[in-house]
Structure 1
Amino acid sequence: MAGTLAVLTRLGTGVFGRDRAVGDRLLGGLAWLAAVGVLVLLGGTIVMLIKGAQPAFSRFGFWTFLTTAEWNPVTEIFGGLSPTVGTLVTSAIALIIGLPVSFGIAVFVTQMAPVWLKRPISMAIELLAAIPSIIYGMWGLFVFAPFFADHIQPVLTATLGEVPLIGPLFQGPPIGVSVFTAGIVLAIMIIPFIASVMREVFEITPAPYKESAYGLGCTTWEVVWHVILPYTRIGVVGGVMLGLGRALGETMAVTFVIGNAHDLHLSLFLPGNTIASTIANEFTEADGELYTASLVALGLILFLITFIVLAISRFMLYRLAQREGVRS
C-alpha cells in the first residue's frame, strides 16, 4: 500500500510539475510579448511622427518651425510657436489652480472628514473623473465662459490688471473664450485625477507613523507635511504628472473654450490655441502635403513636451531619493 502511494505521489508530482513548467513558460512568453509590444508601439509612433513631419522640417527646419508664430495655409507658412505656447500656458494655469485644490481635497478626505462624509466625497470625485471631456467643453462654452466674462474677468482686470509686471496678463475684452478660460476648465478636469491619486496614496501611510506624530503633539498640517508627504512622494508626483499629462493632451474641452486663434498675445483674456486643438480643428481640412506635415510636426512637438515632462518628474524623484539617502 505504501509503495502504491509513493508511486502515485511521484506520478502526480511529475504531472503537476510539468503543468507548472508549461504554465511558467506560457506566462513568461506572454509577459515578454507584452513588454516588447509596448516598445514596438512606442517606436512605431515615434517613427510615424518623424516621417510624417519630415516635409515640414525639411522646408522650415525644426528650430524655425518651433519659433515661428505665423500660421498661414494660403501662403504655406507654418510655425508652431503659438500652439506650443498655448499648450504650455493652459497646462500651467490648470496645474497652478488644480494642484492646491486637489491637495486640499485629499487632505480633507483622509485626515479631517467624518466617516459618513468620506464616501460621498470620494464617489463625487470619481464621477467627475468619468465625465467625458466634450461635456466639460460644452459646459465651459455655454455656462462658464459667459459667467466668467460678466462676473469674474472684470474683477480680475480691475485688481490684478493694475499690478506692475503681471498687469498686462489680466487685461483684455470680456469675451469669455480665452486662454485663461481654457486653463480653468482644464483645472476642473484634472482635479479629480490628482485628488483621487493623492487620496489613495495618503491612505496607505502606516497608521503608527501618524499616531506617533500626533502623540508628539504635531498638528494635522505638520503630520501631512512631515510624515505623509515624504512617505507618499512618489505617488503624489505620479498623480501630478497624470493630471499634467491630461492637461497637455486635452483636445475637445479646450477646443470649445480657447477661441482657436493663431495669435500670440500677452493677455490671458484673449483667444489662443493649443497643439491638440489645432490638430483637431484643421487636420481634416489640410489639403496639401506641407499643411498635413506641419500638423504632424505639432504632434511630434507635443510628444516631445510630454517626454520632457516625464523625464523631469523622474529626475525630481531621483533627487528626492538621493536627498533622503543623505539625511538617513
Structure 2
Amino acid sequence: MAGGFLPRRKGFGAERAFSTVTLLAGAMVLVIIVAITVFLIAKAIPALQADTANFITETDWFPNQEPPVFGIAAIAWGTLVTSVIALLVAVPVALGIALYLSHYANRRIADTFGFLIDLLAAVPSVVFGLWGFIVFIEPVRTFSVWLNKYFGWLPFFDGTGPFGRSFMLGGLVLAIMVLPIITALSREVFLQTPTADEEAALSLGATRWEMIRTAVLPYGRAGVIASVMLGLGRALGETIALALTLGFINEITVNVIQNGGNSIAANIANGFGEAGDIGRGALIASGLVLFAITLVVNAAARVIIYRRREFTESAA
C-alpha cells in the first residue's frame, strides 16, 4: 500500500546472527571475569585462614614459615609508588610528543616517529628489565646520589645508601614502557579533532598553541584520560621489569632512591617457584588484590570518561 510501512523481514538473518554473536562474546567476557574472581578467592581462602597476621596491614611476607606471617601492605604500596612515578614522568613527555607529531611535525617525520613509537611498544618487558638492571642502573644511581646530596632534606631523597635498585629505577623503567602506549593513543585522539574547530580558533587570531589549548586538548581530554589509564594498567601489572629493578625490601616508605621496594606482580614472579601450599595461596591472594585494584582503576577511568563525554559530543 502506498505510503505504508515496509514489511519487517522475519527469520534469523545475518543481522540477527551478528547481534547474537556479539551479545554472547560480551557475556563471555563477564563470565571469564567472574570465573577468575571465583578461582582467586577459592585458592586464597585457605592461606588467609592460616595467616597469623593482618593481611591488609602487615608488611612482612613470610608465608612459608611456621606459623605463616604475611600481608599485602608493603608490596601494594610498592606497586602504587612505582606506577605513580611512571605516570609522573611518562604523561607529560607522551603528551608533548603526541602534540608535536599531530600538529607540529611534517607528515614524513610524524609517520617515521609514529612507527618507531609503535615499535617501542612491542619490545618485551624482559628486555626493558635487563636494560634497566645492567645499563640504566648506573645513571639512576648517580642521579640518586645527586638528589641525596642536594635534596636530602626531603623525605623522598634522604638516606645513606646504597642507591640503585629502588622505586626510582623501577618507576623510570616503567615510564619508558608506558610511554609508547600513552603517546600513540593520545596522538590518534588529537588527530581526530574536527578541522572546523581548529580553523575557527586560528581565524580568531589564536596562535597554534592557543588553538591546541582551546580546541585540541578539550576535545581529546577523554581520550587522553583513557590512554593514561591504559598506561596505568600496564604499570600496575608489570612483572619482569620490576622483578629485575627493585631491591625486594618489604617496607612502606616514601624514600624513592634508597635500595628496596617490592610490588605485587614482582613478588609473585619471584616467590611462586619456591612457595609451598600456603605460600602459593598467599601469592594468589595478593594477585586477587591486584585484580581488584585494576578493576577499580578501570571503573574510575570509565566514570571520568563518561563525565567528560560532553566535550566530544558538543564538538561533533
**Whole-Å separation in 1 of the counterparts to 2:31 and 2:275:** 29
**Whole-Å separation in 2 of the counterparts to 1:323 and 1:123:** 29
Q: Deviations over 1:94-113 (max 9, x none)?
A: 01111001010011111111
Change (3 A) 1:142 1:26: same
Partner SS, residue 64 of structure 1: coil
Count of equivalent residues: 302
In structure 2, the residue matched to 1:9 is: none
In structure 2, the residue matched to 1:38 is: 29
* The structure with more helix, counted as a fraction of residues: 1
Question: Equivalent of 1:111, from 78, 86, 103?
Answer: 103
Q: Is the 8 A contact 2:145 2:163 kept in 1?
A: no
Question: Equivalent of 1:203, from 169, 187, 191?
Answer: 191
Q: Deviations over 1:201-252 (max 9, x none)?
A: 1001111111111111222332222211221222111101110000000001
Q: CA deviation at 1:175?
A: 3.3
Q: CA deviation at 1:321?
A: 4.4
Q: Is the 8 A contact 2:220 2:312 kept in 1?
A: no
In structure 2, the residue matched to 1:133 is: 125
Question: Equivalent of 1:276, from 249, 259, 265?
Answer: 265
Change (3 A) 1:64 1:136: same
**Whole-Å separation in 1 of the counterparts to 2:24 and 2:119:** 35
Q: Which one-letter code corresponds to 1:231 in the other structure? A: Y
Q: Which one-letter code corresponds to 1:137 in the other structure? A: G
Question: Equivalent of 1:101, from 93, 101, 110?
Answer: 93
- Residue 143 (structure 2) pairs with residue 155 (structure 1): no
Q: Which one-letter code corresponds to 1:79 in the other structure? A: G
Q: CA deviation at 1:261?
A: 2.5
Q: Which one-letter code corresponds to 2:290 in the other structure? A: L
Q: Which one-letter code corresponds to 2:69 in the other structure? A: I
TM-score by length of 1: 0.86
**Whole-Å separation in 1 of the counterparts to 2:109 and 2:305:** 33
In structure 2, the residue matched to 1:3 is: none
**Whole-Å separation in 2 of the counterparts to 1:219 and 1:56:** 61
In structure 2, the residue matched to 1:86 is: 78
Q: CA deviation at 1:323?
A: 9.3
**Whole-Å separation in 2 of the counterparts to 1:147 and 1:53:** 40
Q: Which one-letter code corresponds to 1:253 in the other structure? A: A
In structure 2, the residue matched to 1:64 is: 54
Partner SS, residue 175 of structure 1: coil
User: 1:120-269 counterparts in 2 under 5 A?
Assistant: 120-149=112-141, 151-162=142-153, 167-172=154-159, 173-269=161-257
Q: Which one-letter code corresponds to 1:70 in the other structure? A: D
Q: CA deviation at 1:266?
A: 3.5
Q: Is the 8 A contact 1:69 1:81 kept in 2?
A: yes
Structure 1: which 5+ residue stretches go unaligned? 1-16
Structure 2: which 5+ residue stretches go unaligned? 1-8
- Residue 279 (structure 2) pairs with residue 310 (structure 1): no
TM-score by length of 2: 0.89
In structure 2, the residue matched to 1:14 is: none
Q: Which one-letter code corresponds to 2:110 in the other structure? A: K
Q: Which moved further from structure 2: 252-261 or 188-197?
A: 252-261
Q: Which runs of 4+ in 1 moved over 4 A?
A: 321-326
Q: Percent identity between the aligned chains?
A: 38
Q: Which one-letter code corresponds to 2:57 in the other structure? A: T
Q: Which moved further from structure 2: 91-100 or 312-321?
A: 312-321
Higher Cα radius of gyration: 1
**Whole-Å separation in 2 of the counterparts to 1:199 and 1:321:** 18
Q: Is the 8 A contact 2:222 2:309 kept in 1?
A: no
